[in-house]
Amino acid sequence: MLVAVGSLTVMGVALGGLLGIAARLLAVEENPLEEELKAMLPGSNCGQCGYVGCALAAAALAKGEAPVTVCPPGGRAVAESLAKKLGVTADLSLHQDKGPEYAVIEENLCIGCTRCIKECSVDAIVGATKQMHVVINEACHGCAKCFKVCPTDAIKMCRVPVTLSSWHWAKPEVGQYLH
């Protein structure tokens, strides 16, 4: 009886202590700022910033290794909100907001190499080997990754055309009255 109780107690304490030490030694420090920054990024993991996915870009931002203008698809809006969150002033002069874009494949230049299909992060390109490829406009989010890999320069990035349903008045320019 005593041996049974004692041995189980000793084992429990020993294993618990071991796990406690292991947890202390193998602790993974997590930055709460990372989560908040990750939520502000687009989250499509396109990889244009050079990091593997938005989570790693957020980690680099939190450590101060990446500039707030790290995210090209996010554009000016994301850069500004990141700068506000991190309390830094961002140089946005080179960061022109070009507006939403999408990729278009020129049919007579496409050789059907499927490189752009492998690169696309949202599966917006359809096609097969030695068959012409085409971009599904509704799915394309304009990350321009296919544009960079195309060996025959058959892909061009186009501005999303303004239609009756998407046209709006120019926003009032508040800046000149504030300064």
Partner 1 sequence: MEYVLIAVSAALVNNVILARFLGLCSFMGVTTRIDTAVGMGAATTFCITVSAMIDWAVEHYLLEPYGLGYLRTVTFILVIAASVQFTEAVVRKISPSLFQMLGIYLPLITTNCAVLGVCLLLVEGKMSFIGSTVFALASSIGYSLVMVLFAGLRERLVLAEVPRLFAGPPIGFITASLLALSFMGFSGMSAH
User: Cβ closer to partner 1: 18 or 128?
Assistant: 18
User: Cβ closer to partner 1: 5 or 170?
Assistant: 5
Distance from C-alpha of 105 to C-alpha of 132, rounded to nearest angstrom: 9
Q: Shortest distance, CB of residue 144 to partner 1, whole angstroms?
A: 26
Q: Shortest distance, CB of residue 104 to partner 1, whole angstroms?
A: 32
User: Cβ closer to partner 1: 5 or 178?
Assistant: 5
Q: Helices in 26-153 by DSSP H: which ranges?
A: 32-40, 53-63, 75-86, 115-119, 145-149
Q: Shortest distance, CB of residue 98 to partner 1, whole angstroms?
A: 33
On whether the CB atoms of residues 113 and 131 are closer than 8 A, the answer is: no
Which residues of the chain form contacts with partner 1 (CB under 8 A)?
3-4, 7-8, 11-12, 15-16, 18-19, 22-23, 26-28
